[in-house]
Every structure is written in C-alpha cells, then in structure tokens.
Amino acid sequence: MKTFAELNFPGRLIAVEGLDGSGKSTQIYLLKRWLEAEGIKVYFSEWNSSELVKSATSKGKKRELLTPTTFSLIHCTDFADRYERHLLPLLRAGYVVLCDRYAFTAFARDTVRGCPPDWVRGNYSFAALPDITFFFKTDLEVSLNRILEGRPKLKFFEAGMDLRLSTDPYESFRIFQGRILEQYVTMSGEFNFVVMDANENVEKQQVLVRKIVGEKIDLKKFRRRSPLPLPPAFQPPEVKEQEEDLAAV
C-alpha cells in the first residue's frame, strides 16, 4: 500500500485514529480550523457519514440486526462511497483532506468483533494510505471519563455490548476498547502512525499536531489563490451600491 503522495496525487490526506473518547475528533476539528485560517484548501470527512449508507447503518444498529460480518461490510460500503465520491476528487484537485477515522478503524474494530484480519484488509485494498496518520493513544479510564462527561451513559456498540463481553456496560467498554487499543498499538509500527499522548491537555497536543503537519506537508502549496467569496447577503453596503450603480449604467 502506498500513500497519496507516493501515488503522485496533488493533494494530501491526514487521518486521526484512536479509541472512543481519545479526543481525536477535537484535535482534527482544531486542525481544520487552523488550516482554514491559514488559507489552505481543506476538506473534512468522518467515519460512517455517507448519505447513501448511514440511514441503513442506523436502522441496523437500532434493531440490533448487524452481525460482525454485515457490520464490517456496511462500514466498508460507507467508506468506499465517500472515498470514490469525495476523497479522491478533492485529492486530485489539490486539497488537504482530513479524515476522522480511516480504514484502520475497521482493521481494529472488525478484527476484535471476530472477522478474519486478512479478509477485512482485503475489503479495503482499494484505498491508499494516508500521508499522515495520528494515533491518539489514551488510557482506557481517561477515554471512559471523557465520554461520560459529555453524556450520561455509554452507547450500545461503543461499549461492545453486542459481543456479550459483560452485562455491565462499563466493564464491557473496558474489555472491548482495551482489545481495540491492542490492535492499534500493533498497527502503529506497521503503518507508521504518529503516536500522540492523548492524556495530555488539548492545547499541548494541538501545538504538536500543527508542528508535525507543517514539517511533513509543504502547506504553502495548498493555499487558495484568492480568499473565499462572501455570500451576497454579507457584502458590505458600499459594494452593493457600486454593483447597483453599474447595473443602472
């Protein structure tokens, strides 16, 4: 597998991976805002967000209809749809593409759910590797506490309750996410992850993320040639008046 840079794509792809509650989504959001402020052409995509697939995924989860195999295949379909219709066109157009989770999520989760590792990886063999993959490595208890700070209880699938590991969702979370963490640690060397200490405070992590991105990607090549146009409703009054005067001539 080669990266998009090695395949001579004009754009670059940055992915973040980590346990639920690791803070990776916060970090990639902050990175996106910073790149936008720097005038970089940037596009964001997140796991399980294909308009074509996500309603079916949601229905299957709510009714607990998904087996490990169908769970794996439906997420792969979601990824393939976004990859073909969004990621590749924008990478060809010279954008910096940010992904909140990439194929590595499937490599970890689906394997823990019992799918054969070689089969899972084969399903994603069409996808190139990210140019940078940040792995936000955090302690299980830190991840659990962060999730519970934002909502009163764990979600059924993030706790791995479908695997019947424990009747206690918190214990099930520790077992399930602990196994996923082991998969990530194993993959980190194989896929050259940039391992981040996700137990650190948000600001310190973000400073390091920006530094690494700036060192590994020549960002000036991805700057917009002109600023984004303002919507008509937000044009300054004098601009509107000038346009009206020109139209009257």
Q: 113-131 as b/e, with b when 16 or more CB fall inside 10 Å?
A: bebeeeebeebbeebbbbb
- Structural domains of the chain, with CATH: 12-248 (3.40.50.300)
Which structure tokens are listed for 72? Answer: 């794996």
Q: What is the pLDDT of residues 12-60, one digit of tens each?
A: 999 999 999 999 999 999 999 999 999 999 999 999 999 888 788 888 8
Residues sharing a CB contact under 8 Å with residue 206, sequence separation 6 or more, in sequence order: 27, 30, 31, 34
Q: What is the pLDDT of residues 163-204, one digit of tens each?
A: 999 999 999 999 999 999 999 999 999 999 999 999 999 999
What is the number of other CB atoms lying within 10 angstroms of the CB of residue 195?
15
pLDDT at position 229, please?
54
pLDDT at position 118, please?
97
Tell me the pTM: 0.87
pLDDT at position 151, please?
86
Q: What is the pLDDT of residues 97-131, one digit of tens each?
A: 999 999 999 999 999 999 999 999 999 999 999 99
Which structure tokens are listed for 74? Answer: 């439906």
Q: What is the pLDDT of residues 125-167, one digit of tens each?
A: 999 999 999 999 999 999 999 999 988 889 999 999 999 999 9
Q: Are 42 and 213 in contact (CB under 8 A)?
A: no
> Band of the pLDDT at 95, cuts 50, 70, 90?
very high
Alpha-carbon dihedral of residues 166, 170, 172, 175, nearest 10 degrees? Answer: -130
pLDDT at position 227, please?
60
